[in-house]
Amino acid sequence: MKNSASWKYTLASVTGTSHLVGNIPCQDASDCAVISSADGSQVLVAVVSDGAGSAVKADVGSYLTCSSFIEKSKKFFVDGQNLLNLTEDFVLDWLRAVRKNIFADAERTSIDPSDYACTFVAAVVGADEAAFLHLGDGAIVASRRNDLDNFHCISWPQQGEYVNTTHFITDDDALEKVALYYEAGIDEVAIFSDGIQHLVLEYETQMAHVPFFNSVFSWLRSTQETGPDSLSNSLVTFLNSSKVNERTDDDKTLILATRRLSPFMS
């Protein structure tokens, strides 16, 4: 059965403590939007990009990646397309377009394109169908409609050729490394950068740490706060907490989206 309920979401990208000490800007970016499709149903579009720590224009690369994906997705649905038409060709066309923008900015500023290196993870979730895109580290965790009490890792962090390396949108083989997954019946989704992936994933089993996601989604479903801005303020506070910063000094990004009601609010 399709779900036509409204989406409730929050997102935040915060600067890691190591970046604050080094006076380095946050190199993570994120964006989220709810778009009306041709049939009037809501489509959630969410994207996270993590700039490479060693890349001097990584913050620009991650911003361009997120903004262009949201723009491309809006045009896709405004033009009357539906999620079933979101194919590998769409993904590759978008990837080529954002790479073109990054390379153009690199040429204009006489900076090597690799200095814009960034990853991306994205979700496009309709009434029933969902598509997930992934290049690099970070991950996507979701809850399926027929398995409400569990959270599954839809997309696991990609590892490069060597330990502690990954893939970036500026890599020569980016078009070959990007992954596209399809799912159905997704009502809750979390997308995050590698700044928190070690805190919320279980590496031995390659599974999501379910207690964490149960906790944050229980809060999101039941909170009386309204609107992404007020919700994001609460998420920023959590990501900046000593409890989190004691375990990671990297930039941290998290997007949470649900269309499930709390049992206390239904």
Q: For residues 208 and 151, is the Cβ–Cβ distance under 8 A?
A: yes
Tens place of pLDDT per residue across the chain (266 aa): 566 678 999 999 999 999 888 888 999 999 999 998 888 889 999 999 999 988 999 999 999 999 999 999 999 998 998 898 899 999 999 999 999 999 999 999 899 999 999 999 999 999 999 999 999 999 999 999 988 778 999 999 998 766 677 999 999 999 999 999 999 999 999 999 999 999 999 999 999 999 999 999 999 999 876 666 778 889 999 999 999 999 999 999 999 999 987 554 44
Q: Per the domain annotation, does 242 fall within a domain?
A: yes
pLDDT at position 11: 96
pLDDT at position 266: 45
pLDDT at position 5: 74
Residues 225, 230: Cα–Cα separation, whole Å: 6
58: containing domain? 8-258
68: CATH: 3.60.40.10
Residues 25, 143: Cα–Cα separation, whole Å: 33
Q: Per the domain annotation, does 123 fall within a domain?
A: yes
Which percentage of the chain shows pLDDT scores above 90?
75
DSSP assignment of 156-225 equals PPP--SSTT----TTSTTHHHH-EEEEEESEEEEEEE-HHHHHHHEETTTTEE-HHHHHHHHHHHHH---
Q: Per the domain annotation, does 32 fall within a domain?
A: yes
The DSSP 8-state label assigned to residue 240 in this structure reads T
Q: Per the domain annotation, does 118 fall within a domain?
A: yes
Q: Per the domain annotation, does 244 fall within a domain?
A: yes
Residue 52: alpha-carbon gap to chain centroid: 16
Q: Per the domain annotation, does 27 fall within a domain?
A: yes
pLDDT at position 162: 65
Q: Per the domain annotation, does 2 fall within a domain?
A: no
pLDDT at position 159: 84
Count of structural domains, the chain: 1
pLDDT tens track for 141-180: 999 998 877 899 999 999 876 667 799 999 999 999 999 9
Those residues with Cβ within 8 angstroms of residue 106's Cβ, 6 or more apart along the chain or in another chain: 57, 112, 113, 115, 116
Q: Per the domain annotation, does 113 fall within a domain?
A: yes
